[in-house]
Chain A
């Protein structure tokens, strides 16, 4: 009898304790708070949590979205893709391989530490510090050394001529040598200090990162006082945070949710051009019918890209001829994109010795690119109509990524490649070169052209060379050329913010309406 009572007592205690815990952690509701205040911050919901916030160590998408608000780089990317002054109020290229930067005076880090030329030198040297094992070192492998000229003047010397150097200066976020040296990079990775418009107030792992406005920001304080980054991996669930009024900005809503988002009075759908080019890589090295250039051309004729863009991407994507768009350097408008011409595709296949077509495997991921499952199905459907039977092999992204870079994919693979600098080298050097990172074609003539463009910073010469390369690459058909996918956002009705093509979430530009 006694024992039974005790059991019952324990059980009810457990339940009561639980209820008590639940009640105690209840938040008081938010009423009458100013938008953007601590209790009612601007809420950004992205799909993944940063692994760390030290820009010396990381530059992954989820981290960069946060650090771009906390740090400043030497230069800034303008909305239209130009490299404009950032922490450096001016700069000049004193030799073909070196740049002198004049830093703004009076800029301080969030803890009061002054920004000096020494901080620039420290940041670059930390990226190359072998003990730090920075993932950024590969981005800056063209930098030879940094020379401090005086307190606010610094010179960066490259080990080769490099056309994209200025782009990387926009990503060189400067860290404070004093503070970071004192706390160590591991601590700095969790609680960083920068010169940017916001400072990190708290980071609840797995849940949220709260940023508070830097009142002493050199360009003036941001309009919004508090920004909260949250992480929801599931896209439909992210949309729900927007529809319920819990979020002000969500990244990557499914394109199919466009009408649902627009129909809700709390929210609207927004998009910008984007920088990611989508294509089906055609591996002509491994043994398959794709070794014949006529087959690769036939596949390009067989796919109706306009219909895919119109129906599956709501007309928001931009068709790319030869992986480039008109904004890119060296874009050759005389190179005509392959039109949709299934008869010509059939004829080319016949000439190549495949009158009855063939069967081939295409590797793809699901949920990585906009509406990717449907797009891949459509491509397979179009190819089926000219007799090419496509087996779609859907892979988890980690496995796909591993296969892609070890060049062990199936002969065809559906993939996207970001080109944030609008420069063909960022695409062609990695995709269509013999020793590129992905495997498509191996053509010594194209390699020679790409080498020539790479070894100079003479933009007029580069433009000429790329115009020629584009024509050759178009004929060689290393891929089924598709489109540049847009970047998609869901916005609340109270936020005033323009999406950028480069996907960067600069919250300095955001306002909240009452």
Chain B
């Protein structure tokens, strides 16, 4: 178990290094943070002077080497736009993104799993067809469009929720539903498939023939066995939740990492972009390792193997 987690951590560290290196080069090879910082009327000499004072006049290879040395100390440097430590800016935004991601995940699981099981049990019925159709539509619809639609429905047409902003539970509802709707379709479909798979196993037939009630079979035995693919699906979706937060947060004015990342990338403020990317990657890594541990709780067989 310990060795397994150790391996995952090393793999994850390499992945994070690759990701932030790519971000470093892409940002440095397109656009110019100093031009985004200074007024458009600044002369070429003034831009050059400012670039030198930020150390941006050195060759890219040298800057990459410096960047890597700083990374060994988890030093992301200061934001070019605000001059504040990039890590401080990211950490103050982290809670908003985490709250949103987990609330969306919880809603998606609480609605998607029962819906998928219902659909599996009623396999072939019009109800099943409706669930499958709606979940496919949910997956195929762009998140920003769902977000805007929900805003207009529940903040303008029926004004019961705030259209954007942060601070109260009411503000959390629309962004959560937006992301949850996107996740829901995947969760529902995977639950349905997994449930169908388990329902066709001989042990289910045995349980039923022993006279155990259908409900007990479904919730005690089938759900437990179907849990692994469902949890895997949720974990895979987590990266879309974080990636999609860039879109969702800028629609809802949600002060999380996604909004910060979008603004920083726009301004080519690469210390902040890299710090954001690092934490997003770290978050996904930690989440996946946690999930591997969760598997062993859900399914004792996995524990036995290791």
Q: Are A206 and B255 in contact (CB under 8 A)?
A: yes
Q: Are B106 and A18 in contact (CB under 8 A)?
A: yes
Measured between beta carbons, the chain A residues less than 8 angstroms from B152 are 240, 243
Say whether, besides A207-B255, A237-B163, A401 and B81 are in contact (CB < 8 Å). Answer: no
Say whether, besides A137-B46, A237-B253, A240-B148, A398 and B41 are in contact (CB < 8 Å). Answer: no
Bound together, the chains give a CA A245 to CA B164 distance in angstroms of 12
Say whether, besides A139-B41, A402-B32, A27 and B83 are in contact (CB < 8 Å). Answer: no
Measured between beta carbons, the chain B residues less than 8 angstroms from A397 are 266
Q: Mark A243-285, 1 if CB is under 8 A from B, else 0.
A: 1111000000000000000001000000000000000000000
User: Taking CB as reference atom, which chain A residue is nearest B145?
Assistant: A236
Residues from 22 to 71 in A contacting B, C-beta threshold 8 Å: 22-23, 25-27, 45, 48-49, 51-52, 57, 59
Q: Say whether A91 faces chain B, with CB atoms less than 8 Å apart.
A: no
Shortest beta-carbon distance, B215 to chain A, in Å?
A: 17
> Chain B binding site: helix, strand, loop or mixed by DSSP?
helix
Residues from 139 to 157 in B contacting A, C-beta threshold 8 Å: 144, 147-148, 151-152, 155-156
Shortest beta-carbon distance, A342 to chain B, in Å?
A: 34
Shortest beta-carbon distance, A73 to chain B, in Å?
A: 16
Shortest beta-carbon distance, A390 to chain B, in Å?
A: 23
Bound together, the chains give a CA A175 to CA B42 distance in angstroms of 23
Q: Are A405 and B165 in contact (CB under 8 A)?
A: no
Interface segment among A227-235, A309-317, A450-458, A465-473: the answer is A227-235
Bound together, the chains give a CA A189 to CA B84 distance in angstroms of 10
Which residue of the partner chain, among A25, A26, A189, A430, contacts B41 with CB atoms under 8 Å?
Answer: A430
Q: Are B39 and A138 in contact (CB under 8 A)?
A: yes
Say whether, besides A402-B31, A405-B32, A233 and B259 are in contact (CB < 8 Å). Answer: yes
Bound together, the chains give a CA A141 to CA B147 distance in angstroms of 47
Q: Are B156 and A243 in contact (CB under 8 A)?
A: yes
Shortest beta-carbon distance, A233 to chain B, in Å?
A: 4
Measured between beta carbons, the chain A residues less than 8 angstroms from B253 are 45, 207, 230-233, 237
Shortest beta-carbon distance, B139 to chain A, in Å?
A: 22
Say whether, besides A18-B103, A417-B40, A398 and B92 are in contact (CB < 8 Å). Answer: no
Which residue of the partner chain, among B96, B147, B169, contacts A22 with CB atoms under 8 Å?
Answer: B169
Which residue of the partner chain, among B82, B102, B159, contacts A51 with CB atoms under 8 Å?
Answer: B82
Q: Are B35 and A405 in contact (CB under 8 A)?
A: yes
Bound together, the chains give a CA A399 to CA B27 distance in angstroms of 9
Q: Are A244 and B40 in contact (CB under 8 A)?
A: no
Q: Are B167 and A25 in contact (CB under 8 A)?
A: yes
Q: Say whether A135 faces chain B, with CB atoms less than 8 Å apart.
A: yes
Which residue of the partner chain, among A137, A205, A246, A418, contacts B92 with CB atoms under 8 Å?
Answer: A205
Bound together, the chains give a CA A405 to CA B53 distance in angstroms of 19
Q: Are A135 and B37 in contact (CB under 8 A)?
A: yes
Q: Are B30 and A399 in contact (CB under 8 A)?
A: yes
Shortest beta-carbon distance, B117 to chain A, in Å?
A: 17
Bound together, the chains give a CA A396 to CA B262 distance in angstroms of 12
Shortest beta-carbon distance, B4 to chain A, in Å?
A: 21
Residues from 160 to 183 in A contacting B, C-beta threshold 8 Å: none
Say whether, besides A207-B167, A230-B165, A232-B253, A401 and B106 are in contact (CB < 8 Å). Answer: no
Shortest beta-carbon distance, B35 to chain A, in Å?
A: 5
Q: Say whether A461 faces chain B, with CB atoms less than 8 Å apart.
A: no
Shortest beta-carbon distance, B94 to chain A, in Å?
A: 11
User: Taking CB as reference atom, which chain B residue is nearest A57?
Assistant: B83
Among B31, B47, B152, B166, the one with the most A-chain Cβ atoms within 10 Å of its Cβ is B31
Q: Mark B12-45, 1 if CB is under 8 A from A, else 0.
A: 0000000000000000001110011111111110
Measured between beta carbons, the chain B residues less than 8 angstroms from A445 are none
User: Taking CB as reference atom, which chain A residue is nearest B148?
Assistant: A236
Bound together, the chains give a CA A322 to CA B237 distance in angstroms of 54
Q: Are A189 and B32 in contact (CB under 8 A)?
A: no
Measured between beta carbons, the chain A residues less than 8 angstroms from B114 are none
Bound together, the chains give a CA A148 to CA B21 distance in angstroms of 52
Q: Are A241 and B163 in contact (CB under 8 A)?
A: yes
Say whether, besides A27-B168, A405-B32, A206 and B103 are in contact (CB < 8 Å). Answer: no
Q: Are B53 and A25 in contact (CB under 8 A)?
A: no
Q: Are B260 and A245 in contact (CB under 8 A)?
A: no
Which residue of the partner chain, among B38, B164, B267, contacts A398 with CB atoms under 8 Å?
Answer: B267
Q: Are B84 and A186 in contact (CB under 8 A)?
A: yes
Shortest beta-carbon distance, A69 to chain B, in Å?
A: 20
Shortest beta-carbon distance, A388 to chain B, in Å?
A: 28
Measured between beta carbons, the chain B residues less than 8 angstroms from A137 are 46
Say whether, besides A206-B96, A397-B266, A244 and B35 are in contact (CB < 8 Å). Answer: no
Measured between beta carbons, the chain B residues less than 8 angstroms from A23 are 169
Q: Are A237 and B164 in contact (CB under 8 A)?
A: yes
Bound together, the chains give a CA A468 to CA B31 distance in angstroms of 36
Q: Say whether A287 faces chain B, with CB atoms less than 8 Å apart.
A: no
Q: Are A398 and B36 in contact (CB under 8 A)?
A: yes
Q: Are B159 and A244 in contact (CB under 8 A)?
A: yes
Bound together, the chains give a CA A398 to CA B266 distance in angstroms of 5
Q: Say whether B50 faces chain A, with CB atoms less than 8 Å apart.
A: yes
Say whether, besides A206-B256, A241-B164, A246 and B268 are in contact (CB < 8 Å). Answer: no
Shortest beta-carbon distance, B167 to chain A, in Å?
A: 7
Say whether, besides A205-B93, A240-B148, A399 and B31 are in contact (CB < 8 Å). Answer: yes
Bound together, the chains give a CA A237 to CA B151 distance in angstroms of 8
Bound together, the chains give a CA A141 to CA B46 distance in angstroms of 10
Q: Say whether B230 faces chain A, with CB atoms less than 8 Å apart.
A: no
Which residue of the partner chain, among B32, B42, B82, contacts A406 with CB atoms under 8 Å?
Answer: B32
Q: Mark B82-106, 1 if CB is under 8 A from A, else 0.
A: 1110000100110010000011001
Measured between beta carbons, the chain B residues less than 8 angstroms from A205 are 89, 92-93, 255
Bound together, the chains give a CA A451 to CA B159 distance in angstroms of 59
A residues adjacent to B (C-beta < 8 A)? 7, 15, 18, 22-23, 25-27, 45, 48-49, 51-52, 57, 59, 130, 133, 135, 137-139, 141, 186, 189, 204-208, 230-234, 236-237, 240-241, 243-246, 264, 396-399, 401-402, 405-406, 417-418, 426, 430, 437
The 10 closest A-B pairs by CB, nearest first: A206-B255, A402-B31, A22-B169, A398-B31, A138-B42, A51-B81, A232-B253, A233-B250, A240-B163, A27-B168
**12 extra interchain contacts, Cβ-Cβ under 8 A, other than A233-B259, A240-B164, A241-B164?**
A23-B169, A52-B81, A52-B83, A57-B83, A135-B50, A138-B46, A206-B93, A207-B253, A232-B250, A244-B162, A245-B159, A401-B32
CB<8 Å pairs between A and B, sample of 23:
A26-B170, A59-B39, A133-B54, A135-B50, A138-B39, A206-B254, A206-B259, A207-B253, A208-B165, A232-B164, A232-B251, A232-B253, A233-B263, A237-B252, A240-B156, A240-B163, A243-B155, A246-B164, A246-B165, A264-B156, A405-B47, A430-B40, A437-B41
